[in-house]
Structure 1
Amino acid sequence: MPSRVTGNTLAELDRLLHVLIRQVALDRGIRLPARSRNNSVGIAALCGEHRDQGRLRALLRSTVCLRRHDGRAHHADRRGRGSMTAGWSNEAGSNTRQRYAYDLGEDITPSVEQMDDVCAFYDRLARAVVGGRRGTHPVPQHGLVLPAA
């Protein structure tokens, strides 16, 4: 899959989560910043504090690089650094904080398994947003939990 298509796919997943967050907040009467595109802010408002901010930021950086920089790592995690952490895990389905790191200029195109991991991550976030009530669910060590069915 060409890098731009992969980047567009990631952007659509993020946009879908954004629309879902906005709709759930509206349904619950929760006011979110009008122009904020930061999904972490919306998730925190709906579900309480969570530990997925870093991964969401990494996915955004990865998306920009795939869409606008020909699939090459272009945005370092921190100013002056020479590497970028992607939003996918080293091992698909591992649910660890260990993320794939690339040197700037390196090709960052994710594997099919890594894209599956990203899709599962967004699915988990979407389920937590729809089912979560602020302050009623404990914050797990590695992200949000789904409410008991």
Structure 2
Amino acid sequence: MTDELARANMTLRRSADFFSFSLARSSAPTSAVQPISHQLRSRVIGNGLRELDRFLNILIDQVASRRHLPTAPGQRNTANKLQAFWSDIGVTSDGHVRLRALGRSRDCLFHCDGIARRADVGNAGVMTLGWPDENGLLQIAPLGSPIIVKPADLQNVRAFYGQLADDLRLAAGPSN
């Protein structure tokens, strides 16, 4: 990997580790969460998700550059950017749906005091969160309900971003 590519990959991985481990340690039991602490914690988690999204966005550009594909540093929608990259190299990926759900979750955690406010589609009345339940399906929150993020959810997000970093590292191909 080139130095820039290696740095972008390592930044995403270290950030995902920091995000999950530091927030998991500071988690209070759900029953002890007061509204103000939920709002503050939600903003911190939302900001962490925003940073992970940005680091993934940069990594996609580094991998595209390595493959001599056009980069799109101005493309802020990371889910669409990653889907376009995979399409350009002829790979199918199911990460798009989850990245979009993480984006909605991030926005509601950061801008809406941790309350589910962004329906998946139209007037669906529910919002898909960016982390799975115990059955492996992405969790659903009714609109207007608080978004509860457990330490296991943070670990799952960490693993998801780690897998994306691995996939992109492989997609970059051998270094020259």
Structure 2: how far apart are the matches of 1:127 and 1:34? 21
Q: Cα deviation per residue 1:16-50 (whole Å; 9 max; x = unaligned)?
A: 11111111111221113453223344434255221
Q: For residue 163 of structure 2, what is the aligned residue in structure 1?
A: 124
Task: State the one-letter code of the partner of 1:108.
Answer: I
Flag as ranges the 4+ runs of structure 1 deviating above 6 A. Answer: none
Structure 2: how far apart are the matches of 1:122 and 1:60? 13
What TM-score, normalized by structure 1, do the two folds share? 0.79
Structure 2: how far apart are the matches of 1:83 and 1:132? 35
1:38 correspondence with 2:77: yes
- Preserved CA contact (<8 Å) 1:66 1:109: no
**Which of residues 91, 94, 115 in structure 2 aligns to 1:51?**
94
1:66 correspondence with 2:105: no
What TM-score, normalized by structure 2, do the two folds share? 0.68
Structure 2: how far apart are the matches of 1:5 and 1:109? 13
Structure 1: how far apart are the matches of 2:70 and 2:153? 34
Q: Cα deviation per residue 1:34-93 (whole Å; 9 max; x = unaligned)?
A: 5322334443425522111110000000000000000000000111111101000113xx
Q: For residue 107 of structure 1, what is the aligned residue in structure 2?
A: 146
- Preserved CA contact (<8 Å) 1:22 1:42: no
Taking only aligned residues, the RMSD between alpha carbons, in angstroms, comes to 1.9
1:83 correspondence with 2:126: yes
Q: Mind listing any 5+ residue stretches in structure 1 that lack a counterpart?
A: 135-149
The answer to which structure, 1 or 2, has the higher relative contact order (CA under 8 A, 6+ apart) is: 2
Q: Mind listing any 5+ residue stretches in structure 2 that lack a counterpart?
A: 1-26, 28-40
Residues matched between the structures, number: 130
Select between 18-27 and 46-55 the one with higher mean Cα deviation.
46-55
Q: SS state of the match for residue 107, structure 1? A: coil
Q: For residue 29 of structure 1, what is the aligned residue in structure 2?
A: 68
Q: CA deviation at 1:121?
A: 0.3
Q: Percent of aligned pairs with the same residue?
A: 37
Q: SS state of the match for residue 109, structure 1? A: coil
Task: State the one-letter code of the partner of 2:95.
Answer: D
Structure 2: how far apart are the matches of 1:61 and 1:43? 16
